[in-house]
């Protein structure tokens, strides 16, 4: 979180994390294409010729009010390929909320789990943990024939019982419900933090 007091702006960072090719970029692309132009900035995509994210994607949304300030939600995707570990760590700096985009294909379950463990390790380095943090799970690629049943994915991945959403990012299914929930969680978390800060100021 970053507050620009002069402009009464509050910047909140939401990161889409997950294994390579799980559909993180597709989430941002869909949001960008469907959201009111007045509420969004440009979609920045730093990708290879093969359409793989090599640094990050970025999209800024301006929605609602918090404590008299205008929140700007800065959405980022990480590069999922294993060798971009350092980039993923950097992108988690000052993160306020996370969407974990899991790939529903049976053969991707190990990668999903490895990536959650990698996320947890990187968060711990940032002084945070998945247990006490605003995040949601998105089970993407539900349209594919080898999709694992939801109950199985829940057992394998959702050990903290966070809200989860089924999605088909290429068709836009589940994208906005996922985004709305993570925004709701981030705002609730920030309100608590701001409330605590105001209490300290008034002591
Ligand atoms: N069938 C199907 N394909 C999908 C879905 N979501 C994404 N894809 C496809 O999966 C491929 C990878 O999607 P991306 O959004 O680029 O994946 P990513 O997670 O950003 O990948 P990295 O940037 O390498 O980490 C693309 O060809 C998408 O069109 C889905 O729900 N169903
Ligand atoms: Mg990508």
Q: What is the CATH number of the domain that holds 111?
A: 3.40.50.300
pLDDT at 8: 84
Number of domains present in the structure of the chain: 1
pLDDT higher than 90, residue 203:
no
Which residues have CB atoms below 5 A from the ion given as ligand 2?
24-25, 53
How far is the C-alpha of 114 from the C-alpha of 7, rounded, in Å? 41
Q: Mind listing the pLDDT tens digit for each residue in 120-177?
A: 999 999 999 999 999 999 999 999 999 999 999 999 999 999 999 999 999 999 999 9
pLDDT value at position 93?
Answer: 95
Average pLDDT over residues 3-29: 93
CB 91, CB 56: distance < 8 Å: yes
- Going from the Cα of 29 to the center of ligand 2, the distance in angstroms, rounded, reads 10
Give the range of the structural domain holding residue 100, as residue numbers without chain letter: 2-201
Average predicted confidence (pLDDT) for the chain: 94
Q: Which spans in the chain are helix H?
A: 24-34, 85-91, 109-125, 150-157, 175-201
Taking the mean position of all CA atoms in its chain, how far away is CA 52? 18
Residue to substitute in 84, 119, 170 for testing ligand 1 pocket (most ligand atoms within 8 angstroms of CB):
170
């Amino acid at each position: 979180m970053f507050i620009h007091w002069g402009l009464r702006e509050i910047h909140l960072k939401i990161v889409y994390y997950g294994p390579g090719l799980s559909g993180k970029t597709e989430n941002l692309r869909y949001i960008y294409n469907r959201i009111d132009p007045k509420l969004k900035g440009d979609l920045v995509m730093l990708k290879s010729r093969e359409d793989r994210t090599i640094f990050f994607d970025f999209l800024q949304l301006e929605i609602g009010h918090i404590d008299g300030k205008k929140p700007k939600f800065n959405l980022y995707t990480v590069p999922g390929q294993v060798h971009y570990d350092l980039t993923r760590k950097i992108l988690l700096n000052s993160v306020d909320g996370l969407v974990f985009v899991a790939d529903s294909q049976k053969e991707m379950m190990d990668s999903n789990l490895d990536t959650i463990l990698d996320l947890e390790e990187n968060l711990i380095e940032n002084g945070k943990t998945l247990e006490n943090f605003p995040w949601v799970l998105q089970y993407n690629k539900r349209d594919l024939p080898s999709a694992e049943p939801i109950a199985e994915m829940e057992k394998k991945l959702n050990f903290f019982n966070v809200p989860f959403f089924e999605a088909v990012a290429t068709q836009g299914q589940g994208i906005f419900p996922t985004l709305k929930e993570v925004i709701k969680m981030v705002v609730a978390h920030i309100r608590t933090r701001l409330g605590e800060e105001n209490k300290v100021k008034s002591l």
